[in-house]
Chains A and B, each alone.
Chain A
Amino acid sequence: MCRLFSLTSTEPMSPMKAIEALDMMKEGHDGSGIGLFLSDLDGPFSKFKDLPILSGIFTRDGLRRLEEFMSGQGFIPKHMLTLDAKNDPPPGTPRRETYLVQVYEPPASWQYLDQSVQEKKLTGIRLKLRHMGEAEGDMVVFSFWPDVIMIKEVGDPMEIGTYLGLDREEIYARRILAQGRQNTNYGINLYACHPFFIQGVSTMTNGENTAFVPIKEYLSSQGVVGYEGYQSDSEVFTHILHFTLKELGLGIEAYKHVITPLQESDLAAHPDRDFLHKLRQSCRRLIIDGPNCVIGCLPDKTMFMVQDRKKLRPGIVGGRSGLFAFSSEACGLDAVVPDRDKTKDFQPMHLDTVIVSPDCKEVRTCRQTQPLPLQH
């Protein structure tokens, strides 16, 4: 079972912090991979808050094709960071040519486009690059979005962190999701590494989504740009969240009602029963089954954790004002926020969604049996 760790903080933090936490939980991952989602960036990237950042891994050919393609689209490179490794890669990690983080300025004509159109276009470009890379094997693209960096690699998280020098200040961030991968069911593939990302929505999961195939079939037929790929059964969690937020216009509180709806008796007693009943029926195809703990970050930088219906996966949230962390195990929390009030640590159960807003003031829990906030 993979180990998950995320932190949300008012101060920029080094991604190595999260990796240290993963290292504490080392028993739980086999060193088959690490994935990082960094947002609310500090340092040089904070100057380009609104410009999309491309993260990926490229060969020399890939870089050339990337440049050609992006300039063809009218994108102008603004700032670039490459994670150049000085040493040999740790055992099990292939040597790659360039880990690239590149800020682009979109073509001038974009400023007249609607926000949603821009979002779709950015997604479209990421997918186009991904497809080009899949065909030639020279580009792997994880995200293309303002204020988001994603790094994924095969190997032990700590070793990779050191190898890629992930403690550099340029990539300090206030929201970090990190996963130490335990490869289980599918082949090792960079795209299969959590967290997954689409249009500002990112989630990671530990567990096994047994409803993967029907959900995948449903999502990929909805005509939404970006619902594809699916190298991992957990990728659909990200897309369901995206679907809930962007396609249905519901809030994070509704997410749990989509993936693990209340059962009949609880529903009957719920103040929003009519709405929830309809939601349960119409989103029935998105119900997850099997044990899963989902941790994620929303476009507004809110961080959350939800559990499956039976709460078969561990998950704990804790911290202090200004810094909160979500972790698979308490030892992960101890590694990063040792000075917290441990009595306030919270382990969400089967009805809870734990939410920490970007101000990092408090942990808010939302139970499924509570009334939903007004739907917009």
Chain B
Amino acid sequence: MQANAAVTPSTLSVQDLPWQIHWDRYTCTLCGRCTSVCPVNAIELGVFRKREIATPPFGLQEKPSSGFNIYYGIRQRTDPGYACIGCSMCNMVCPNNAIRTVKSETADLLRFHRDRGGQPRTRGGRRNNQQSVLDQIKFIRISMLTDPALDAGRHEFELKTLIGRILSPAKAIKAQQEKGWMPPVREVYPLLIGGMSFGALSPNMWEGLQMGVAYLNEELKMPVRMCTGEGGCPPRLLRSRFLKYVILQIASGYFGWDEIVHAIPEMKEDPCAVEIKYGQGAKPGDGGLLQWHKVNQLIAAIRGVPPGVSLPSPPTHQTKYSIEEAVAKMIQSMSMAWGFRVPVYPKISATSTSLAVLNNLTRNPYAAGLAIDGEDGGTGAAYNVSMNHMGHPIASNVRDCYLNLVKLGMQNELPIIAGGGTGKNGNLAANAAALIMLGASAVQIGKYIMQAAAGCLGTEGDRCNICNIGRCPKGITSQDPRLYRRLDPEKVAERVVDVYVSFDIELKKIVAPLGRSTSLPIGMSDALGIADRAAADRLQIKYVV
């Protein structure tokens, strides 16, 4: 930089950025693949000028001279709008490993400049926080005294859960004898793929997940279910026999509902359930936000909007007077749409008011459950501030809700589906088992399955996380065919199956030594311990050190 170059407040050095590119002049073949693959144009062709001293061979009369040499290479841009996101795609495509990303060791100063144009930063991903209470929980009640230990590899296991309103035994028997209406209940695998919409994910990713789920159901007999997320469902899926593996999500804004309504007369199967989305853990109080980058022709058609406009979830309809009323009405109308054969339940963000919602639902005979999404949940687009500072952790929220149901004598009658940060550090089975023992009937995952099944690069360390702008380097959350071609749906399906089968083994390895095998250990809080006094008291589990 010249001594008198313009240094503006937003002028940053490479050092100030969270990620730095190390490029090696001697191994680079200048093939240009890295610059073409970079999703944010953080690197560009650089022309470098270097002074060289020419020293004449010994004994000649000429004096040493200096000259200038030009060479080409890769330069990292420091404009905050183009900062490297550390995705390492450049490294992945480089034939010689000539380029790699290194995380800065100093404080990242870029964060002060992410709001160019007066727009605060939006991003995909999760909170930038690696800590997890779930990871600290241990399973301590291991039967060593009176039991022949169950063998996770050999014994039969029945690890399914129920989604749907479960009548109390007396009511169920009465309804059975009087041939009265029984709320629909589905027996499913306790690990659900949570709502990631067709607009948020690329068609290839979606197809891959659906194929994996179908394989798990039809070949491996694992009743795994996947939620569509808000914004409709591809018409062909709605009319296919695979719909029974799908939980249709409908949000208060009714995006994509048209498509579903029109398909109802032609549906061969009922969906597994209908989830009404009121909130999301990673951006509580914000609706879904699908930014214009991702609204292409197909998405626009499914949602009934013009292409190329940003789609924040519309507000609830004015006819709905209050949240309780909205929940009640939507549950009622969705149940009605399928002749009361499909469980309908709302999904809310974990908050200190979750209990109020839960209490309302307990008195609503059509409410089939409650999905609660904690602050660690992932999102395709949310404001940084929402993601990092809004919301409630899932562990204590689920615990409160469960204990409240216990108090009402309705334990598991209204299944609680917990989500938000399950497996965020990779400990999926342990986290899920802990949530179940804290009282969840099922656990849902989103980001984890993107990371495990499609190689999503996003981390809690703020790596990548550009899902919102449709430039996903892996083709997972992009609607641009040039990008999503990178993702092979067959391979995604294969990985989904791998993930589930291995999760199943791990879950058995956890529950077998606890002496559980014929019913999911929902609420088995005596098995849990934590070395944090405050957490132990709060969760009403054992304090162990």
Please pick, from B171, B187, B411, B516, the residue contacting A221 in the complex, using a CB distance under 8 A.
B411
Tell me which residues across on chain B come within 8 A of A243, comparing CB atoms. 169
Number of residues of chain B lying within 8 A (CB) of chain A: 44
Number of residues of chain A lying within 8 A (CB) of chain B: 41
8 Å CB contacts to A: which residues of B390-448?
Answer: 406-412
Known: A1-B146, A218-B411, A291-B147. A248 touches B521 (CB 8 A): no
Tell me which residues across on chain A come within 8 A of B514, comparing CB atoms. 210
Judge if B173 is at the interface, Cβ distance under 8 Å: yes
Q: Chain A 222-236, CB within 8 Å of chain B: the 1/0 string?
A: 110000000000000
Judge if B172 is at the interface, Cβ distance under 8 Å: yes
Q: Once bound together, how far apart are the Cα atoms of A185 and B142, in whole Å?
A: 12
Are B515 and A290 closer than 8 Å at their CB atoms? yes
Judge if A194 is at the interface, Cβ distance under 8 Å: no
Tell me which residues across on chain A come within 8 A of B166, comparing CB atoms. 281-282, 284
Known: A184-B145, A289-B516, A290-B515. A214 touches B523 (CB 8 A): yes
Judge if B519 is at the interface, Cβ distance under 8 Å: yes
Are B521 and A211 closer than 8 Å at their CB atoms? yes
Judge if B185 is at the interface, Cβ distance under 8 Å: yes
Q: Once bound together, how far apart are the Cα atoms of A263 and B160, in whole Å?
A: 11
Judge if A207 is at the interface, Cβ distance under 8 Å: yes
B447 to chain A, nearest CB (A): 30
Tell me which residues across on chain A come within 8 A of B523, comparing CB atoms. 213-214, 217
> Which among A214, A250, A291 has the highest number of chain B CB atoms within 10 Å?
A214
Q: Chain B 164-190, CB within 8 Å of chain A: the 1/0 string?
A: 001111111101110000100101000
Tell me which residues across on chain A come within 8 A of B141, comparing CB atoms. 210
B168 to chain A, nearest CB (A): 6
Q: Once bound together, how far apart are the Cα atoms of A117 and B257, in whole Å?
A: 54
A310 to chain B, nearest CB (A): 7
Known: A211-B524, A221-B406. A290 touches B147 (CB 8 A): yes
Q: Once bound together, how far apart are the Cα atoms of A278 and B141, in whole Å?
A: 31
Q: Once bound together, how far apart are the Cα atoms of A79 and B143, in whole Å?
A: 46
Are A213 and B526 closer than 8 Å at their CB atoms? yes
Are B146 and A208 closer than 8 Å at their CB atoms? yes
Q: Once bound together, how far apart are the Cα atoms of A49 and B458, in whole Å?
A: 75
Please pick, from B146, B408, B411, the residue contacting A214 in the complex, using a CB distance under 8 A.
B411
Known: A1-B146, A221-B408. A287 touches B169 (CB 8 A): no
Judge if B518 is at the interface, Cβ distance under 8 Å: yes
Are B147 and A282 closer than 8 Å at their CB atoms? no
Q: Once bound together, how far apart are the Cα atoms of A1 and B146, in whole Å?
A: 6
Q: Once bound together, how far apart are the Cα atoms of A203 and B3, in whole Å?
A: 91
Chain B contact residues, CB within 8 Å of chain A? 141, 143, 145-148, 150, 155-156, 158, 162, 166-173, 175-177, 182, 185, 187, 406-412, 514-519, 521-526
Chain A to chain B contacts (Cβ below 8 Å), 24 pairs: A207-B146, A208-B146, A210-B516, A212-B526, A213-B525, A214-B524, A217-B406, A222-B409, A223-B409, A260-B518, A275-B176, A278-B172, A278-B175, A281-B172, A282-B169, A283-B169, A285-B411, A287-B519, A290-B143, A290-B147, A290-B515, A291-B147, A310-B156, A375-B177
